[in-house]
Amino acid sequence: MTAAPADSIASDRPAPLVSKVGMALFIGTEAMFFAGLISAYLVFRVGNPNWPPAGQPRLPVESTAFNTLILLLSAAFCHRAVSTLRAGLARSSAYWLGLTAVFGLFFLVLQGREWIRLVQFGLTLTSSVYGGLFYTLIGVHGLHVLAGTALVLYVLKRSVEGRYSAAYPLGVELARMYWNFVVALWPGLYFLVYLL
């Protein structure tokens, strides 16, 4: 069996512009979804002068600030993965993708530890509107971080297989677009939920 000519392999690849527009549209719908969640949170926040309600545990502001730094660093790593791939350094790009995924998982583990402590102190999904809003908003973001980490790991696998190059960095670029969206959301959520 003979190998497929390079031209046929290239023609099987999705068009970069169409793929990027598709990802941008997907991110736009996700942004609207989060706008709805944030709006619901703000309605309850503004409508309740005592926020958080009495008897609710204090949110872990300091450890979440550290976790925010972890997530922001992961975005820098993801950006580095694209720039090194465009420079023709595919192995280096895979390294940076791996670091992005590790930091994404680290963010989720730290978030999970915080949630366990908050539940032990009585803040649950059903303990109050405050608890319900907290876990819905922050939990939905956590699911997006998990999805983004899975996407980065998938792209990493394909990168190691040699599917991307300086001439064709599309998969890594799409992963970066989604990851940047997930990371960009977090400082706003941190400010609204933990600091405001």
| pLDDT per residue as tens digits for the range 147-163 | 999 999 999 999 999 99
The one-letter code for the residue type at 29 is T
Length of the chain: 196
- The pLDDT score that the predictor gives to residue 127 is 84
Geometric angle at alpha carbon 107, from 163 and 32, rounded to 5°: 80
| pLDDT per residue as tens digits for the range 125-135 | 888 888 999 99
**Phi, psi (rounded to 5 degrees) for 100:** -60, -50
CA distance 166 to 186: 30
| pLDDT per residue as tens digits for the range 77-126 | 999 999 999 999 999 999 999 999 999 999 999 999 999 999 999 898 88
Residues contacting residue 157 through CB under 8 Å, at least 6 positions apart? none
**Percent above pLDDT 90 for the chain:** 78
Checking if the pLDDT of 24 tops 80, the result is yes
Contact present, 164 and 90 (Cβ < 8 Å): yes
- The pLDDT score that the predictor gives to residue 5 is 45
Q: How far is CA 93 from the centre of its chain?
A: 19
For domain 18-49+61-195, give the CATH superfamily: Cytochrome c oxidase, subunit III, four-helix bundle (1.20.120.80)
**Alpha helices per DSSP H over the chain:** 6-12, 16-47, 61-86, 90-120, 129-160, 170-189
Geometric angle at alpha carbon 149, from 148 and 153, rounded to 5°: 120
Q: Provide DSSP, 96-122.
A: HHHHHHHHHHHHHHHHHHHHHHHHHTT
CA distance 152 to 74: 11
Tokens of 152: 């980065």
CA distance 185 to 34: 9
pTM for the model: 0.89
